[in-house]
Structure 1
Amino acid sequence: MEASNAKIRDYLAFGSEGAVASVFVRYSNMHGKVTGNGIEITEPIMIRVISKHIAVSRETVSRIVNKWKDQGIIENENKTFTLKDMDYFKKLLVCDKCGVNNCVL
């Protein structure tokens, strides 16, 4: 119940970009490996899967992800993403005020 409420909060309070960020943070908590380059998500993630999680069009998710790639916030190779700036996501989602203990999908 806590995770569902947090996902709804992320979408309503922070829009599409916040919802996509929320999915990346949750994947990093479930499948993330800290590297010298950031947090590598070891499970492949497809844009269409993210869009289904948050009920946003694939095109919108793709546009947000491409913006973050251009800004150097994330990078990807063969459906494997690395979050290079986790602080960006935490600030965007105001994680310090969230209160969710188990931030996973």
Structure 2
Amino acid sequence: MSTLPRSLLKNLDLFRSVSEHDLDTVLQIAQTMRLQAGEPVFQQGQVAENFYILLHGHLKVVQTTPEGEQITVRYVMPGEVFGIARAMRRPTYPAACIAVEESIVLSWPSSEWDHVIARNPQFAFNALQTVGQRLQDAHTRIKELSTEEVEQRVARCILRLVDASGEQTEEGVSINFPITRQEIAEMTGTTLHTVSRLLSSWKEQGLVNTGRKRVTVRRLDDLIRLAEGQPPGGTAASKRNSVEPL
């Protein structure tokens, strides 16, 4: 049996409604993976032998185009199910999944997918929601690429990451995992030069703070205005009190 305590899964939304007996059954066939930053959970094109839940840390999903261009598609947050290619009737993983920091992942054989969802309707419901959300996110990104200016797309990207994993600090709301300007560029369909220019400009205006693989939003309202295609509207008073609640 897995050495993971039952309470660790019981606290996840995916398993909150599962009986202790069924939870023990699920844990019996689970395997734990500990990953260091840069280590892959699986590679693009690899046979989809397992599905996963992220318990701790953050992962990024990366696709490589036929031309060899690498694109960061999205990030995986703690508590999220991923690698469900076989559930979508795909024999292989359509993208690679890589740890961006030290992470802990729980995995099950893909052959157990039907068994797990049959015993856990809440897990099945949340997995379906996950697939639906990813489709919606893909449609949103296509729309943004087609209709919005680069500044709007970059602002929206940062806001989504803050919404998913923001952490309140003295400076503002920080994306609480390492992220590079290149990865932001890949997610917004632009160039590293453009993202660097925008972030430098926003930093001069006091909207954000940036460091090595870190982004902190100092004036959340103004970044929302930029995402909506409006100019930032902070007053002198608001700039003195620029840290916004999450």
2:159 equivalent to 1:25: yes
Matched, 1:84 2:218: yes
Q: Identify unmatched segments of 5+ residues in structure 2.
A: 1-134, 229-246
- 1:40-86 Cα offsets, whole Å, 9 max, x none, are 11111101111111221110111111100111100022221110011
CA distance in 1 between partners of 2:219 and 2:144 (Å) = 18
Letter in 1 for 2:188: I
Cα offset, 1:37, TM superposition = 2.2
> Radius of gyration: which is bigger?
2
- TM-score under structure 2 length normalisation: 0.36
1:10–1:22 CA contact under 8 A, matched in 2: no
Q: When you count strand as a share of all residues, which structure comes out higher?
A: 2
Task: Give 5+ residue unaligned stretches, structure 1.
Answer: 95-105
Aligned-pair Cα RMSD in Å: 1.6
Code of the residue aligned with 1:31 in structure 2: it is S
Identity of aligned pairs, percent?
Answer: 26
SS at match of 1:37: coil
2:141 is equivalent to residue 7 of structure 1: yes
* Bigger RCO (CA 8 Å, 6+ sep): 1
Aligned-partner Cα distance in 1 for 2:147–2:191:
18
Q: Which runs of 4+ in 1 moved over 2 A?
A: 4-14
Aligned length: 94
Three-state SS of the structure 2 residue aligned to 1:44 is: coil
